[in-house]
Amino acid sequence: MIDTPETILVRTRRIACDGSGPDVPPALGHPKVWLEIDDSGAVECGYCDRRFVLIGGPADSGQTQKAR
């Protein structure tokens, strides 16, 4: 079974992703990339496929994931 990519709710349109997290130390992540959320209200990281959703934006379906 393939795990679905993580969805992270964010408060700003410009965010950084380095692939690290609670289960992945920074040394095992990927190079830091800056991502910009467009009018769709979401953006996906090209390295790790994490999906960042702008709180209150069009892609926010009231998900209860962690916010950054």
Model pLDDT for residues 37-65, shown as the tens digit of each residue:
999 999 999 999 999 999 999 999 876 55
Distance CA(43)–CA(23), nearest Å, equals 22
CATH class of 7-54: mainly beta
The more confident residue out of 3 and 38 is 38
Nearest to 51 by CA among 4, 5, 10, 15: 5
Look up residue 40 and give its DSSP letter: T
Banded model confidence at residue 68, pLDDT cuts 50, 70, 90: low
Per-residue burial over 16-52, b = 16 or more CB atoms within 10 Å of its CB, e = otherwise: ebebeeeeeeeeeeeeeeebebeeebbbebeebebbb
